[in-house]
């Protein structure tokens, strides 16, 4: 595939100088992609860690770069014996670039805001809608076609790569679905980039080495399924490195993403958005106005939403936004909700951890019982850690291979049960904790103790 336009060099503080394809540059240079510069990657974490103000923009560029690096290594390590077209490689890069363009203000906080409002919405599907919207709005399909990308086949393939699953590719190319969003074991370039990027902004050490994982990766036939299904495998000596990757994820969640103060500020921000929901609107060029809980239903409205809505509330003189402004001022002046208590369910009620339960329902029920008993408003947060994979022991789903013998092209898989050699500690990797906050501005210690005792008793007696 001949590169017709101009590649662009970006100086990234994580990966150094990275070169992106002209088609990627065409998407980057749209206002809809540029809006990612104004969407904080870590939500309200910057209110606790002052330097955690990185945005989705630079993360998206990093994932695009790593996707290309991963594919280059896989082709090289397999002696170019895996057949991947240049068009498919470009599709993977585009998926890495666009996997987060559907995020709302303050990233995952926006999803939690909509969940609190009773709306089931996922940013991945919005990213797919936003990509199609950009292509249509700026007539980019002709640019896609210049590089051999078909309007129906390849656009849908990019969407499948964003989701991390699909039916377009045959099982021999299943490994391409594992690069951006790996649903099998959570090892993907999206996590590698945000671990490094977030760790640097949070000033937290990142111990695992993603460059080694890339260099010691190969495509092999999956021994656990269809004989023709090919997946990404890693050298057996990288088992400890992968274990460290899962540990880093857990550490970032415990020390930053789900830090008690971060949970507190996020609950306050969600309350601010709920109070401003009807009066703080988004208007499209055709004149239609959407409330904050309606904007996701129109991709044009969604493309106009960034973190700026907080400033719209803060500097508004609309009397209908007075309650939201007052709470926002309380957040910015650090008059946070009062901490009541944190309850590690591994100790308080292990039966909750051993069952599949609706965590949101548990939070709602506890909140309702507390408010009914004390006639005071409460905020409930849940720390529900996993390893970014759908199983409780993702190492079991990682395929390892042995070092090839000199001159041999035959790859032997390693069946050593590394999940037993490097067991993921339940309390560290799968923490189950409920944290309660009281929303009163002033509350005495005696009442806090009553709230604490009630919460603990409720969780002790909760029946999954």
* Cα 294 to Cα 124, 132, 297, 397, distances in angstroms: 18, 20, 6, 39
pLDDT tens for residues 106-156? 999 999 999 999 999 999 999 999 999 999 999 999 999 999 999 889 999
Give me 309's structure tokens.
Answer: 């809505």
What gap in Å lies between CA 101 and CA 128, rounded to an integer?
A: 8
Contacts of range 298-305, beta carbons closer than 8 Å, 24 or more positions apart = 299/126, 299/129, 299/130, 299/133, 300/133, 302/102, 302/104, 302/126, 302/129, 302/130, 303/31, 303/32, 303/35, 303/130, 303/133, 304/35, 305/104, 305/105
* pLDDT tens column, 166-210: 999 999 999 999 999 999 999 999 999 999 999 999 999 888 899
Q: How many other C-beta atoms can be found within 10 angstroms of the C-beta atom of residue 49? A: 19
> Do the Cβ atoms of 250 and 428 come closer than 8 Å?
yes
- CATH numbers and ranges of domains, the chain: 8-237 (1.10.3210.10), 259-336 (no CATH)
3-state secondary structure of 12: strand
What angle (nearest 5°) sits at the alpha carbon of residue 114, between those of residues 111 and 120?
85
Which of 99, 123, 259, 296 is catalytic? The answer is: 123
What pLDDT, on a 0 to 100 scale, did the predictor assign at position 227?
76
The yes-or-no answer on residue 123 being catalytic is yes
Q: Are 174 and 165 in contact (CB under 8 A)?
A: no
Residue 406: its pLDDT value, please? 67
Cα gap 190→100, rounded to integer Å: 10
For residue range 376-429, list pLDDT tens digits in order.
999 999 998 888 776 678 888 999 999 877 656 678 888 888 888 888 887 788
pLDDT 10s digits, 218-269: 999 998 887 789 999 999 999 999 999 999 999 999 999 999 999 999 999 9
pLDDT for residue 405: 73
Please state which of the ranges 2-6, 88-92, 101-105 shows the lowest mean pLDDT.
Answer: 2-6
């Amino acid at each position: 595939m001949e590169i017709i336009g101009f590649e662009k060099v970006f100086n990234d503080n994580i990966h150094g100088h990275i070169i992106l394809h002209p088609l990627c540059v065409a998407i980057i240079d749209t206002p809809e992609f540029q809006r990612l510069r104004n969407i904080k990657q870590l939500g309200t974490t910057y209110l606790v860690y002052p330097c955690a103000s990185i945005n989705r923009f630079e993360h998206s560029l990093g994932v695009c770069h790593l996707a290309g690096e991963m594919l280059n290594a896989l082709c090289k390590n397999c002696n170019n014996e895996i057949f991947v077209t240049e068009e498919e490689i470009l599709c993977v890069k585009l998926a890495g670039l666009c996997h987060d363009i559907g995020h709302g203000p303050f990233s995952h906080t926006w999803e939690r805001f909509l969940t609190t409002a009773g709306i089931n919405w996922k940013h991945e599907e919005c990213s797919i809608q936003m990509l199609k919207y950009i292509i249509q709005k700026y007539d980019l399909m002709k640019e896609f076609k210049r590089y051999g990308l078909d309007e129906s086949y390849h656009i849908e393939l990019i969407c499948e790569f964003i989701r991390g699953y699909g039916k377009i590719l045959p099982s021999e190319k299943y490994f391409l679905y594992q690069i951006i969003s790996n649903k099998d074991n959570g090892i993907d370039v999206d996590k590698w980039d945000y671990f490094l990027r977030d760790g640097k902004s949070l000033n937290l050490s990142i111990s695992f080495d993603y460059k080694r994982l890339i260099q010691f990766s190969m495509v092999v036939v999956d021994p656990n399924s269809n004989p023709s299904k090919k997946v990404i495998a890693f050298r057996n000596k990288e088992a400890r490195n992968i274990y460290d990757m899962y540990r880093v994820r857990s550490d970032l969640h415990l020390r930053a993403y789900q830090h008690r103060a971060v949970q507190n500020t996020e609950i306050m921000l969600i309350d601010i958005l709920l109070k401003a929901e009807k009066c703080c609107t988004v208007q499209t060029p055709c004149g239609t106005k959407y409330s904050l809980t309606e904007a996701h239903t129109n991709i044009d409205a969604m493309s106009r939403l960034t973190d700026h809505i907080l400033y719209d509330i803060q500097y508004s003189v609309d009397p209908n936004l007075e309650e939201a402004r007052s709470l926002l001022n309380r957040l910015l002046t650090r008059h946070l909700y009062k901490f009541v208590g944190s309850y590690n369910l591994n100790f308080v009620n292990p039966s909750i951890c051993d069952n599949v339960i609706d965590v949101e329902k548990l939070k709602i029920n506890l909140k309702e019982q507390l408010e009914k008993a004390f006639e005071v408003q409460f905020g409930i947060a849940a720390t529900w850690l996993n390893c970014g994979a759908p199983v409780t022991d993702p190492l079991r789903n990682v395929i390892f291979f042995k070092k090839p013998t000199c001159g041999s092209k035959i790859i032997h898989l390693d069946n050593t049960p590394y999940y037993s050699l490097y067991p993921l500690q339940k309390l560290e990797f799968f923490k189950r904790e409920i944290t309660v906050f009281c929303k009163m501005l002033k509350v005495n210690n005696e009442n806090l103790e009553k709230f604490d005792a009630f919460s603990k008793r409720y969780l002790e007696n909760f029946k999954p």
